Amino acid sequence: MANVTLKVNGKTHTVDIDPSTPLLYILRNDLDLHGPRFGCGLGQCGACTVIINGVATRSCITPTSSVKSDITTLEGLSKDGALHPLQQAWIEEQVPQCGFCQNGQIMTAKALLDKTPKPTDAQIREGMARTLCRCMTYYRIQAAIKRASQQIAGIEPASDKKEVVA
Amino acid sequence: MSENMSGEEMTTFTKIPKQVEEVLEKCDLSTSRRNFLKSAGLLVVSLATGVANQAEGAAQAAQAAPGLYPDPNFRQLDSWIVIHENGTATFYVGKTDCGQGTGTAYRQMMSDELDIAYDKTSLIMGSTHVTVDQGGSGGSDGVQVDGWPMRRTAAEARRVLLELASKQLGVPVDQLAVSEGVITVKANPSRRVTYGELIGGKRFNVTLTGNNINATTGVAKVKDVQDLKIIGKSPQRYDIPAKVDGSLKWAADVKLPGMVHARNVKPPVAGAKMISIDEASVRDVPGFIRVVSKGNYVAVICEREEQAIRAARQLKVDWQKPAAPAFPTSEDLFKFMRAAKPTSSSDPNVEGNPDAALAGAAKVVEAEYDFPFQGHTAFSPAHALADPSNGQMTIYTNDMKSYGMRNGVAEFLKIPREQVRVVWMEGPQAYGRTAADDAGFEAAYLAKEVGRPVRMQWTRQEETAWDSKGPAFTFKMRGGLDARNNLVAFDYLAQAADYNHIGYNEQDTVLIAQLMGIRRATPASGGGDGPDDMYAIPNRRTAIQVVGMPMIWETPLRTGNLRDPNGPQVTFAAESFIDELAVAANADPVEFRLKLLAASTTDDPAFKRARSIAVIKAAAQTYGWDTRSSRKPLGAGNILTGRGIGYCFRGQTVIANIVEVDVNRRTGHVWVKRVVCAHDCGLVINPEGLRRTVEGGMLHALSRTLHEEVKFDTEKVTSVDWNSHPSLTHLDTPARIDVVIVNGDPNPNRPDLPHYGAGEASCKPLGAAVANAIYDATGVRLRRVPFRDARVLAALKSANVV
């Protein structure tokens, strides 16, 4: 065990832990940040994603001792009580089914949009390709990323009316 | 229409949502209910059904006395609805949500009948000691079946409130109007009283009737369809904001003082016998508490989670392999199944004389289909937290059948069920009998052993290998066409690898019990299904057999219900075969189906045949279907495009899917680029919620069709993570999905059908639609799921399409 200092969502924490512990367990169990979630522990699904240095990082395979920069979790996306445009778009599109994977989807999309503010459909699909959802909400996730991208660019998102009643 | 649920606030002591904490207290016998019974001067409602109230209350108290968590009485209106002084209402229902937003639908139904604004309501679901036992979730019947007592109790509450208002205002009920929780005198709307003023914070104290919970009713009638205001609208799901801002506390997040962490140590191969444990191998792990084992069940417990992970990896256990192979390999599975002696065969369902009709047919088509074992592979591996404090057992779980878990755990641990409560909280998708059941039992067992709250968490590999599986199927079909290409005979044989099918939370079938050597006297027989279609075929035989694997206990190939237990398998085969018959008849596949549906003129009370025609027509129209046979020249270029249809019903819900595929003839890669769904589940509670549920169901079916298969050698499952067990990804996502909500009720005397189930129908016809579209694109028929690139490419090569 050793004292490790982490800066998460702008707040500094010092925890007495085994520094080789994957960051996910420290965030969830010691810092009570439950945005990042356990899905595989293998870096395959994305449920545990946090953003470190602008990079969507899988905290389940990231030793805590290796983290030298500020960490942003899902809880840190909103600013002054206002949701991030991605979170807002997720609500507008009513994206989640069970919602367990959506931390990974939103955080991966955040890193994608920060780097590529106006992604093409192909860039969205590629950028999100390794972030899994077992309720298969991909169609709505992709729509929400486009909506958020337009929102950030100041474009009024086109209304997504798919209602057809025979 | 979002709102702030009190679930965002946490209590400092338990760190569980305040909303849940309130729920835990609501029916605590030592406080509220006893106080209620003792209290004098509470509101007494004068009602014909109210005379037995005191006796009922006393009986309830007596019945409840020996235990701590008496069952909420479904015949008490107060068990369903509480109206607060501020005019808001809380609904209590015995259901759980698996991610489809059913809670929002229940709130809409109850708000509508109560005549209160949706935003002024909240809903508590599925915690055994505060919500009546509606069984949790399953069978897509939440809205269809359980929604009725919800509507009726809310309607009864509205009626009682109108009577109270009538007394208070001195005006007969028929001269009162009610809107959004405010009752006014029609002639003088300035005279008004609110629900909160009438009964806020007090109990209705109204006894309901009904032989069982589904029949629960008061005196009031539910509204006619024309009078519904909130049903049919699409308020946003109340649970979504907290799921996107990280504030929701899930079952996986609950923390309790003194809590410890457990991990299972599973046998390395199926049926291995535990010989010895070298506990010294983990004594150096910091925070190590104990190894718990009984029979072949082994678990480690540590203070911290990462310590438990390390101890589980490090623990040395001597296992003895079983003498005989547990099962054939996944490559040999279908050969094994076809040769196996069935454990049971149902009496075939026979209409007409199929053998004679086939013998006399102008053309006979024969085909065999294979569908592998598929897992739930829940996105989060199974987990639960059990708290043994005060000689009770509280389990925090996302298990969709919390009531079953309560009964099963009580039986398994041999403690009175009144001392067990199961608190349902949100979790990863629970599309049937997942390992959440197993984790709950394990946490409870371990908590009882160590006397501290225990959090059990399965690993990814454990979940993917050991969760319950949807049964594998083989099919053999024969169809006969007459000289004019009418389908005159259909002979169907299905074999399901479903012997010893496990139910929900049965104490002798959860994995921990099986590993401890507990065996039920008679394994569940399991079962299969015939096709769910309304085709009129004069000569038809439907036969179903069940076969078993060599090892049926302690096996990772335990079968259980997976999102429409047999529908995806059966519909893949049956609707592929109908397509093969359409090809043989050189007919358009839509017209071929419509002709089979139109061949009958009789209909059932739900007009399922007529509604089947309506969904197929709606799907074809939305897609822009051009009438032609799938017999056509092969296209040029590497990408071959085709379209295909699949249709079926589930219960009273009817559905048709049309998909368009791109098949890359160089790689074998299939992209389903467009999906059209026409869906008729009767009265729709929340159209936008339904649309997303259907999208998810179809894409889950697409994942099962393109990717998913449980792989195994003769002793263990070898597909154990997202690399070895691939799942649908963003790259597979269709470019366009259209969900058409159909109301095909032809009855002119009724403006709408009742609300039917919508959770699972959309998992059924998609696989066949994809197979049929691949045929349309390539002329190659794929008869074994999944359609991974290598399998498709091999099929294309053998047909010289490459």
Q: Residue B77: give its domain's CATH number.
A: 3.30.365.10
Upper half-sphere CA count for residue B796 (Cβ side, 13 Å): 26
Q: With CB atoms and an 8 Å threshold, state whether B304 touches A29.
A: yes
pLDDT at B48 over 70: no
Mean pLDDT on B14-29? 41
Categorize the per-residue pLDDT at B698 as very low, low, confident or very high, splitting at 50, 70 and 90: very high
Within a domain: B760: no
Within a domain: B165: yes
Q: With CB atoms and an 8 Å threshold, state whether A34 touches B239.
A: no
Within a domain: B427: yes
Cα B488 to Cα B480: distance, rounded to the nearest angstrom:
6
Q: What is the torsion angle, in degrees rounded to the nearest 10, for the CA atoms of residue B245, residue B251, residue B252 and residue B258?
A: 120
Token pair in block for residue B248: 């929701």
| Element at B387 (helix H, strand E) | strand B383-387
Categorize the per-residue pLDDT at B62 as very low, low, confident or very high, splitting at 50, 70 and 90: very low
Question: Three-class SS of residue B308?
Answer: helix
**pLDDT computed for residue B602 by the predictor:** 82
Pairing label, strands B487-497, B473-481:
antiparallel
Q: What are the structural domains, with CATH classification, of chain A?
A: 2-76 (3.10.20.30), 85-152 (1.10.150.120)
Cα B711 to Cα B213: distance, rounded to the nearest angstrom:
42
Q: How far is A65 from chain B (nearest CA, A)?
A: 14
pLDDT, averaged in runs of 10, over chain A (166 residues): 96 97 98 98 98 97 97 96 97 98 98 98 98 98 98 76 41
Considering chain B, what percentage of its residues have pLDDT values greater than 70?
91
Cα A136 to Cα A122: distance, rounded to the nearest angstrom:
18
Domain boundary among B457, B474, B489: B457
Q: How far is A59 from chain B (nearest CA, A)?
A: 13
Pairing label, strands B89-93, B121-125:
parallel
Q: With CB atoms and an 8 Å threshold, state whether B240 touches A90.
A: yes
Mean pLDDT on B441-453? 98
**pLDDT computed for residue B750 by the predictor:** 53
pLDDT at B8 over 80: no
Within a domain: B441: yes
Mean pLDDT on B63-67? 38
Q: Where are the alpha helices (DSSP H) in B347-480?
A: 354-359, 402-413, 436-450, 460-466
Q: How far is A133 from chain B (nearest CA, A)?
A: 7
Q: With CB atoms and an 8 Å threshold, state whether B378 touches A134.
A: yes
Which residues in chain A are closer than 8 Å to B741, comparing Cβ atoms?
Answer: 163-166
**pLDDT computed for residue B11 by the predictor:** 33
Domain boundary among B194, B227, B245: B245
Which residues in chain A are closer than 8 Å to B703, comparing Cβ atoms?
Answer: 136
* Complex-level ipTM: 0.95
The total of structural domains in chain B comes to: 2
Helix axes B102-114, B147-169, angle to 10 degrees: 30
Domain boundary among B408, B434, B457: B457
Categorize the per-residue pLDDT at B311 as very low, low, confident or very high, splitting at 50, 70 and 90: very high
Which residues in chain A are closer than 8 Å to B731, comparing Cβ atoms?
Answer: 125-126, 129
Which residues in chain A are closer than 8 Å to B304, comparing Cβ atoms?
Answer: 25, 29
Cα A49 to Cα A37: distance, rounded to the nearest angstrom:
8
**pLDDT computed for residue B746 by the predictor:** 61
**pLDDT computed for residue B724 by the predictor:** 98
**pLDDT computed for residue A166 by the predictor:** 39
Label residue B372 left, alpha or beta by phi (over 0 means left) and psi (-120 to 50 means alpha).
Answer: beta
Mean pLDDT on B527-531? 97
**pLDDT computed for residue B50 by the predictor:** 28
**pLDDT computed for residue A55 by the predictor:** 97
Cα B512 to Cα B647: distance, rounded to the nearest angstrom:
40
Which residues in chain A are closer than 8 Å to B732, comparing Cβ atoms?
Answer: 138
Cα B343 to Cα B347: distance, rounded to the nearest angstrom:
13
Computed on alpha carbons and rounded to an integer, the radius of gyration of chain A in Å comes to: 17
Q: What is the torsion angle, in degrees rounded to the nearest 10, for the CA atoms of residue B97, residue B100, residue B105 and residue B107?
A: 40
CB B789 within 8 A of CB B669: yes
Whose structure tokens read 């290598």? B790
Mean pLDDT on B579-598? 98
Nearest to B741 among A44, A96, A165 (CB): A165
pLDDT at B4 over 50: no
Q: How far is B425 from chain A (nearest CA, A)?
A: 11
- Count Cβ–Cβ pairs < 8 Å, chain A vs chain B: 201
Mean pLDDT on B261-284? 98
Which residues in chain B are closer than 8 Å to A102, comparing Cβ atoms?
Answer: 243-244
Q: What is the largest CA-CA distance in chain A?
A: 65
Q: With CB atoms and an 8 Å threshold, state whether B429 touches A141.
A: no
Considering chain B, what percentage of its residues have pLDDT values greater than 90?
87
Q: How far is A120 from chain B (nearest CA, A)?
A: 13
Which residues in chain A are closer than 8 Å to B721, comparing Cβ atoms?
Answer: 40, 42, 44
Q: What is the pLDDT of residues B329-348, one digit of tens each?
A: 999 999 999 999 999 999 99
Range of the domain at B391: 382-457
Within a domain: B154: yes
Burial letters B442-467, b for 16+ CB under 10 A, else e = bbbbbbbbbebbbbbbbbbbbbbbbb
**pLDDT computed for residue A50 by the predictor:** 98
Q: What beta strand segments (E) does B620-733 contain?
A: 639-650, 653-664, 670-680
Which of B305, B325, B80, B63 shows the shortest CA–CA distance to B203? B80
Q: What is the pLDDT of residues B108-141, one digit of tens each?
A: 999 999 999 999 999 999 999 999 999 999 998 9
Categorize the per-residue pLDDT at B38 as very low, low, confident or very high, splitting at 50, 70 and 90: very low
Q: What is the pTM of this model?
A: 0.93
* Residue of chain B whose Cα is closest to the Cα of A103: B244
Categorize the per-residue pLDDT at B68 as very low, low, confident or very high, splitting at 50, 70 and 90: confident
Which of A87, A132, A98 shows the shortest CA–CA distance to B251? A98
Mean pLDDT in chain B?
Answer: 91
Task: Say if residue B35 is in the same domain as residue B184.
Answer: yes
